[in-house]
Amino acid sequence: MKVSRRATFNAAHRLFRSDWTDEQNSQVFGKCSNPNYHGHNYVLEVWLEGDINPETGYVIDLKTVKDVINSEISDRFDHRNLNLDCPEFAELNPTAENIALVSWNLLRAKLPMHLALTIKLWETENNCVEYAGN
Amino acid sequence: MKVSRRATFNAAHRLFRSDWTDEQNSQVFGKCSNPNYHGHNYVLEVWLEGDINPETGYVIDLKTVKDVINSEISDRFDHRNLNLDCPEFAELNPTAENIALVSWNLLRAKLPMHLALTIKLWETENNCVEYAGN
Amino acid sequence: MKVSRRATFNAAHRLFRSDWTDEQNSQVFGKCSNPNYHGHNYVLEVWLEGDINPETGYVIDLKTVKDVINSEISDRFDHRNLNLDCPEFAELNPTAENIALVSWNLLRAKLPMHLALTIKLWETENNCVEYAGN
Amino acid sequence: MKVSRRATFNAAHRLFRSDWTDEQNSQVFGKCSNPNYHGHNYVLEVWLEGDINPETGYVIDLKTVKDVINSEISDRFDHRNLNLDCPEFAELNPTAENIALVSWNLLRAKLPMHLALTIKLWETENNCVEYAGN
Amino acid sequence: MKVSRRATFNAAHRLFRSDWTDEQNSQVFGKCSNPNYHGHNYVLEVWLEGDINPETGYVIDLKTVKDVINSEISDRFDHRNLNLDCPEFAELNPTAENIALVSWNLLRAKLPMHLALTIKLWETENNCVEYAGN
Amino acid sequence: MKVSRRATFNAAHRLFRSDWTDEQNSQVFGKCSNPNYHGHNYVLEVWLEGDINPETGYVIDLKTVKDVINSEISDRFDHRNLNLDCPEFAELNPTAENIALVSWNLLRAKLPMHLALTIKLWETENNCVEYAGN
């Protein structure tokens, strides 16, 4: 049985490798590398898989998942500039893939280990990534 | 090849164990255990996996799936109080997980056995469960 | 200039006139009058119209609107049985129209009078009402 | 890590086997076999699975996926009659399943082979198919 | 107080004036004039405005509106070719505007005259028309 | 008859008055004034009202509206930092209200004057503004 909780956060970012020049970044990442940043309303879906607890009928109380998303993701990334405000992306290009990777690790550390974790992250209504660990 | 059909139904419920007091239920389930019930517009997605029938080009006629959802799920749960009107939940706490479990069993009994069955159930736009049998 | 804020709440209700018998209610309101209640995920959109404040660039800070929706609507109706838990509907049939009427009056009393107020309320993804006062 | 790109196209079709009579087609496919065709806004989601390229932080630049969807799917099927305009369906009944099958093969030929490909295709907001090759 | 009911129908069409050549039609209407037709999942929202009936708490029972939409719109246009199957468009170009005009007139004739009627019609998720009579 | 076209663009912004200190901006605008910017996927709906052209059956060819949105809005604001990259907001706080005001003026100058113009702009799925000129 899998359960999921959805949340949103708004952030600015720029696709950018700090070891490349602006020209190199612009050639590879196009307008996504605009030096002054652009932004998104990110939508995050957190999925947990495990058995139903016969006591409660829950796999996990989604209120708990909501609280972990708030403390680990929203408080960290919402209304932030991912490149400038978030040490996680000081050396890591904040593509949707890397944001998913970082978010998965942050969530994994705070959610019960007996539940398998998968996340989906929409950058726009047309672009989405999914990560389940490796 | 997987195919799916979506449907909706509206129901009232209360998270509640009949062997617990209202206080115990309230402690564990919070406002979801309000003794007078609250409700949801549930959204159900029924997925079936199998080979394409070379005769028709269908895995299964989704009209059939629609009819089975109507008779097994909508007629049973739509505009009902899950705790009071539905014997399935007389002794079973109607969490989204348990509603998915019950729905899966009801659908499994009426849909062709050569097609693997998975269902997704949204309780709100933020909360979702998925079940594929065990 | 109009601005809006969206919110959701989950509630049980029953279409019911207390001065009619269950039979009469059932004849007029059909399965919406199930004596044990059913429920919905209501979606509320609150619109305010007025001039932009040249100081802030806001018509109104939507954080204020969010707080008023929380205190006046969500705290009152979310995870409640509208017929049993909410005195507003003790004598008033909780149709979408009447819920909109009651909500509009509650919001009107707490939002700045120089801003015209209109609300939209979705009962399901197919049914919606809109009210702008009279 | 999986990434996806969404696109839409509008097309007419008729469920129809050319080796059956109109009556036979109508018996099996009902109103979906109306001889004068009907149509849909198809929504396509293209998923690719593979490792993040450490150089770019991408699994694949979704701009590339967008371009392949445009040249292979939109240019071929958008604003077309699938039965009459598209040789792919001259002998193949254009069910959602078969459109997915054909689209998957067209996309597979143009997308990097080290990335696993899955597609989802919505025919309406209630009907969807998913295909990952065989 | 305004109330609305949403419905969907699928149809093929071609933007086409019968008194123009295919070339002229193609020049003005582009790929929307493909001689073999293309299609859409149309979404229709029917709005009625009037006073709440104090007896029922309804402006109008939306079940009635649903039935009128079914008999006047869905039964007439769903799974049809608007140009070939629907006499309404034999001489009238089935643009979204004209479909809205025709639908409004069909609905107006069957819905209570004391309720003002407005309709919205989505041709795609990006294109919409609204008509309130003239 | 009203017709509309929807489009999206992604941008970074910061609620900020250049004649206030960061502290003053932070007090009034909260986390929306983060000095390093945050961002949104803006959704824009452009509505035009007028008579149907009896020649074409269009109020206006939405392809034209699409092109004007691209040249006036998307090319100007998409993947930009509204505060730093867009002279329109050098002295004007880029609230949703002011973005709507600026966008309306840009669109008004390029769309036929006999058609009344209204726009809706979603900053998030919960926050929206509407402007029809003054």
pLDDT in tens, C52-69: 999 999 999 999 999 999
Report residue F56's pLDDT band, with 50, 70 and 90 as the boundaries: very high
Contact (CB<8Å) D58/A97: yes
| A93 within 8 A of A102, measured Cβ to Cβ | no
Dist. CA B134–CA B104, nearest whole Å: 11
Dist. CA E37–CA E15, nearest whole Å: 8
Token pair of C57 as six digits: 């660039």
Instruction: Enumerate the β-bridge partners of residue D129.
Output: B3, D121
Side-chain-facing half-sphere of D81: CA atoms under 13 Å = 21
pLDDT tens digits along A89-114: 999 999 999 999 999 999 999 999 99
What is the bridge-based pairing of β-strands B38-49 and E127-131?
Answer: unpaired
Report residue C90's pLDDT band, with 50, 70 and 90 as the boundaries: very high
Amino acid letter, residue D70: N
Enumerate residues 6+ apart whose C-beta is below 8 A from B105. Answer: none
Token pair of A61 as six digits: 């109380």
Chain-centroid distance, C-alpha D19: 24
Dist. CA B81–CA B73, nearest whole Å: 13
Q: Does E7 touch chain D (CB under 8 A)?
A: no
Contacts of F85 in chain A (CB under 8 A): 34, 36
pLDDT tens digits along C7-65: 999 999 999 998 999 999 999 999 999 999 999 999 999 999 999 999 999 999 999 99
Closest chain A C-alpha to D124 CA, distance in angstroms: 17
In a domain, E72, yes or no: yes
> What is the rounded average pLDDT for all residues in chain C?
97
In a domain, A24, yes or no: no
pLDDT tens digits along D26-77: 999 999 999 999 999 999 999 999 999 999 999 999 999 999 999 999 999 9
Enumerate residues 6+ apart whose C-beta is below 8 A from F101. Answer: C1, C52, F131
- The complex's ipTM? 0.95
Contacts of B57 in chain D (CB under 8 A): 15, 92-95, 97-98
| pLDDT the model gives residue A134 | 80
| A47 within 8 A of A119, measured Cβ to Cβ | yes
| A97 within 8 A of D3, measured Cβ to Cβ | yes
pTM comes to 0.96
Dist. CA B75–CA A65, nearest whole Å: 33
Write down the residue that tokens 């890590």 correspond to.
D1
In a domain, A18, yes or no: no
The closest CB to that of D129, out of B3, B6, B45, belongs to B3
Backbone phi and psi for residue B82, each to the nearest 5 degrees, phi listed first: -60, -40
In a domain, F20, yes or no: no
Contacts of B45 in chain D (CB under 8 A): 128
E18: left (phi over 0), alpha (psi -120 to 50) or beta: alpha
Contact (CB<8Å) C6/F97: no
Domain extent at residue F104: 2-13+41-131
What are the angstrom distances between the C-alpha of B108 and each of A43, B101, E82? 33, 10, 39
In a domain, E70, yes or no: yes
Dist. CA B105–CA B72, nearest whole Å: 10
In a domain, C124, yes or no: yes
| F119 within 8 A of F103, measured Cβ to Cβ | yes
Q: In chain E, how many domains are there?
A: 1
Amino acid letter, residue D84: L
D30: left (phi over 0), alpha (psi -120 to 50) or beta: left
pLDDT at C134 over 90: no
Enumerate residues 6+ apart whose C-beta is below 8 A from E103. Answer: E44, E72, E73, E119, E121
| pLDDT the model gives residue E97 | 98
Q: Rounded to 5, what percent of chain F is helix, strand, coil?
A: 35, 30, 35
In a domain, D118, yes or no: yes
| pLDDT the model gives residue E134 | 81
Give every residue of chain E whose pLDDT is below 50, as ranges: none
**DSSP structure class, residue C85:** H
Catalytic residue among E13, E23, E32, E88: E32
| pLDDT the model gives residue C39 | 96
We report the CATH number of the domain holding residue F94 as 3.30.479.10
Q: Which burial class, exposed, middle or buried, applies to A65 when counting CB atoms under 10 A from its CB (0-12, 13-18, 19+)?
A: buried
Enumerate residues 6+ apart whose C-beta is below 8 A from B25. Answer: B15, B16, B17, B33
Mean pLDDT of all residues in B13-17: 96
In a domain, C85, yes or no: yes
What is the bridge-based pairing of β-strands D116-122 and D38-49?
Answer: antiparallel
Token pair of D9 as six digits: 């196209």
Closest chain B C-alpha to A4 CA, distance in angstroms: 5
| A11 within 8 A of F39, measured Cβ to Cβ | yes
Backbone phi and psi for residue C58, each to the nearest 5 degrees, phi listed first: -100, 150
> What is the rounded average pLDDT for all residues in chain A?
97
Please give the interface size between E and F, counted as residue pairs whose CB atoms are below 8 Å apart: 49
| pLDDT the model gives residue E83 | 97
Dist. CA D29–CA B64, nearest whole Å: 12
Dist. CA A4–CA A50, nearest whole Å: 12
The closest CB to that of D1, out of A30, A127, A131, belongs to A131
